[in-house]
Structure formats: C-alpha cells, structure tokens
Amino acid sequence: MRLDGKIALVTGSGQGIGQAIANRFASEGAHVIVSDIVAERAAAAAAEIQKNGGKSSYLILDVSNEGSVQAAFEQIAADFGGVDIFVNNAGVGINAPYVEYKLADFELMLKVNLTGAFLCGQYAARQMLKKGSGRIINIVSLSGQRGGMGRTGYGASKAGLEVLTKIMAVELSPHGINVNGIAPGPIESDVTTAMHAASGTREAYRYLVPMHRYGEVEEIAAAAAFLASGDANYINGHILNVDGGFGTAGLMYPLPRTEA
C-alpha cells in the first residue's frame, strides 16, 4: 500500500470528489482525516471508511474562516504530529452570465476556492516543513484554464489557484514538499449535478470531450493517490488534467470509417 502510515487531510471530503479521494487514500493505507463544513457529512464519510477496514477520523472545517482552519490544524498536530498529505478540494460554484454576476457571489468564489486553499495550504505546509517532507494537491479546474460560459467567479478563482500551485511548488520543493494540481474535466458528482443543470451544458461536454462521457470521481481519486505517493517523487508544480482529452482537443467531426 503506497500511503501506509501517512496522515492525510482532504477538505470537503464529506461527499463527491473529496470523499472518493479520502476513500482511495484509506485503501492505500493512509489514516484519512475527513473534513467538511457539515458535521454530519464528515462523520458519515469517516464511518464508511472505518466500516470498510480503513483508518479515519473527522473534523469540521470551514476553509474560508482562518479561526476554523487554525483550530483544525492544531487538532491534527496534537493528535497525529502533523499532516503528511494535504488535498485542497473544498470549493463552491455559481454559474451566471458575466454582466449579471453578483459581486457577493464573485467574492464568495474567491473566498472559498482561492483564499480558503491559500489558508489551508499554508497551515499544512508549516507542519510539513517541520517534518521535511509532504505532498500538497490542489484541485483546480478546466474552468480556470479556458473561457467557459457562466464561469466568471469559479473560473477566476480556479485560475488563481493554478498559479498559486506553481508558486507553492517553487518555494516548498527545496524543503521536500511536492505541490501539484489536478484539473478535473466534467465529473459525475453531487456538485456537477447542480452546476451542469443549465440547458445544453451536458450535451456540450459530451461533444467536446473526445471520450464523449463524463468522468467518475474514482478516476480523480486515482490521480490523487498517484501524486500523493512515492511514484510521483519527481513531479512538482504540475497540473494534471483528468478530463478525457477535453483540454487537448481541437477540431472534432465524424471521420469516415477506414479499414486497416
């Protein structure tokens, strides 16, 4: 098991991609600290890991509140001596046309998706510096790489997080801390079910993704497990797109079938 003996914290892991990552880390031998702003979700996700034979505990964490972040990491230090693996996954998304986007919603996107990731990553890095090693994985997004309709706040916040990932990697790598990002494509989860409800969104993604399907949360979890493991020792500052080829695709149209 690649993560045996490691202490891993995943934010927003009471559901969706975060929960899948927590489950995968536990299956790889890590003690996973499930965190969520909703206590019931965190408790249920941790209980599920334990039921399946994994090691897990949980805590309540509001990534946008420094007091909550500080309390959570102090508890982790007291209970486990610090974190070895940290995944910045917690996030929120609101879709609206640019000219109608509300300032309050834009500020919320930045506060949770970017400032929250900055805060949590900083506290995690401080613990890892004392250990001389660590892994930080930021969940970014295709929306931070391309101009998607309706993604004003979400895209801006994720673009900021992608650059922050690279800055973190450059500054922390001399101290044994690898920092990378994962940019999911359209993934079937509780969050995307709500965000992609707009007319035409699902049809557009299924056409624009060369694999012509949504991804599964377990496929993001597999990438996270790789980046958290020793198999990725020399990978640093990289954004790994797990998107079915969406970010690579150019012109696409049906080609006539040819015989080999």
In this prediction, residue 35 has a pLDDT band, given cuts at 50, 70 and 90, of very high
In this prediction, residue 23 has a pLDDT band, given cuts at 50, 70 and 90, of very high
Q: Which domain holds residue 78?
A: 7-238
pLDDT 10s digits, 201-241: 788 888 888 888 899 999 999 999 999 999 999 999 999 99
Mean pLDDT of 165-188: 96
Which member of 154, 214, 234, 253 is catalytic?
154
Classify residue 248: in a domain, yes or no.
Answer: no
In this prediction, residue 194 has a pLDDT band, given cuts at 50, 70 and 90, of low
Per the CB < 8 A criterion, the answer to whether 116 and 64 are in contact is yes
- Asked whether the predicted pLDDT for residue 184 surpasses 90, the reply is yes
CA atoms of 125 and 172, how far apart (whole Å): 8
Classify residue 2: in a domain, yes or no.
Answer: no
Classify residue 255: in a domain, yes or no.
Answer: no
Classify residue 250: in a domain, yes or no.
Answer: no
- Asked whether the predicted pLDDT for residue 254 surpasses 90, the reply is no
Classify residue 246: in a domain, yes or no.
Answer: no
Total of domains in the chain: 1
Nearest 10 degrees: CA dihedral of 247, 168, 80, 1?
A: 40
The mean-pLDDT minimum among 69-83, 130-144, 178-192 falls in 178-192
Residue 14: DSSP 8-state: T
The pair of three-digit structure tokens given for residue 163, joined into one six-digit string: 């650059």
Classify residue 48: in a domain, yes or no.
Answer: yes
Domain CATH for 65: 3.40.50.720
Per the CB < 8 A criterion, the answer to whether 144 and 92 are in contact is no
> What percent of the chain lies above the pLDDT cut of 90?
78
Instruction: Compute the mean pLDDT over every residue in the chain, rounded to the nearest whole number.
Output: 93
- Residue 196 is predicted with a pLDDT of 64
* Full 3-state SS string of 90-120: CCCCCCECHHHCCHHHHHHHHHHHHHHHHHH
In this prediction, residue 193 has a pLDDT band, given cuts at 50, 70 and 90, of low
Of 148 and 165, more confident: 165
> What is the DSSP secondary-structure string of 168-231?
HHHHHGGGTEEEEEEEE-SEESHHHHHHTTSTTHHHHHHHHSTT-S-EEHHHHHHHHHHHHSGG
Residue 142 CA to its chain's centroid (Å)? 12
pTM of the model: 0.93
CA-atom Rg of the chain in angstroms = 18
The pair of three-digit structure tokens given for residue 258, joined into one six-digit string: 């040819």
- Asked whether the predicted pLDDT for residue 260 surpasses 60, the reply is no
Classify residue 183: in a domain, yes or no.
Answer: yes
CA atoms of 139 and 55, how far apart (whole Å): 23
154 catalytically annotated: yes
In this prediction, residue 198 has a pLDDT band, given cuts at 50, 70 and 90, of low
Classify residue 251: in a domain, yes or no.
Answer: no
